[in-house]
Chain A
């Protein structure tokens, strides 16, 4: 979550603009396979760049001394919250369906 602070609205606006743009393309053309391939390639490329710069950011913030001190409890917190979030969501989705 390195980029969250104050950017939520920008992401939302970006998503809505993309949605409108996509709908306009779909309505103007009968076949949109080429556009979908282009978008898919763009998404893969931006994913690679994003992961790299995210790693760079994580590496810069990594404090090994702090990690060693509270590492085990932190791993426990991270894994337990993930496991129970997954389990609860799985049950709720089944109920909602």
Chain B
């Protein structure tokens, strides 16, 4: 029921946003930013109220980094497979996969490095990864490993969903995971474009 409400709200937002494209809704990015700040603050308070479980929270660092390694290697491996199956140039396929959900960076970066097609592919693929995370994360049985599907978005846009469905401890793992991935993406994209 809760997931249905989430998807309904998301679809209503997408529909309204698409219908009112020409109308100025430029404040929505700013609102998202402030709601996220409030949300992350609330997660912090929730974790602080569980001070007795602090030892388990410390474990979050370990799992956050382990899942981040899985996300990086999993994404790169997927890029490699797509290169072989779809005949897309190796560096381009791995670069698109290395975006790991950060479409606002990957799209423009690839457009500048490999051209318009690569930019559009990088943007759309990583944009869809974020949208699919909202749909698929609730269905996953292993909610801790499932954090990886969100890639870099787990430290902001998909964090509330993860927190609501799997608790504050997993939310902290998701935040740490997203933090590591967000640092790695620009480094990986730069290295890949340099080797092109």
User: Which A residues are closer than 8 A to B by beta carbons?
Assistant: 1-5, 7-8, 10-12, 14-27, 32, 35-36, 39-40, 42-44, 46-62, 66-67, 69-71, 73-93, 96
Task: List residues of chain B with CB within 8 A of the CB of A39.
Answer: 42, 45-46, 49
Please determine whether B42 and A71 come into contact, CB atoms closer than 8 angstroms: no
Task: List residues of chain A with CB within 8 A of the CB of B103.
Answer: 1
**A4 contact from B11, B145, B152, Cβ within 8 A:** B152
Q: How far is the CB of A23 from chain B (nearest CB, A)?
A: 4
How many residues on the B side are at the interface (Cβ–Cβ under 8 A)? 99
Task: List residues of chain A with CB within 8 A of the CB of B145.
Answer: 86, 89-90, 93
A15 to B5, CA, bound (A): 27
Given contacts A1-B130, A36-B46, A55-B12, A96 and B66 within 8 Å (CB-CB): yes
Chosen A-B contacts, 10 in total, with CB atoms closer than 8 Å, are A14-B44, A22-B47, A25-B49, A39-B46, A43-B42, A53-B32, A58-B131, A78-B129, A81-B78, A85-B149
Please determine whether A56 and B9 come into contact, CB atoms closer than 8 angstroms: no
Please determine whether A11 and B37 come into contact, CB atoms closer than 8 angstroms: yes
Given contacts A77-B78, A93-B63, A8 and B17 within 8 Å (CB-CB): no
Please determine whether B44 and A86 come into contact, CB atoms closer than 8 angstroms: no
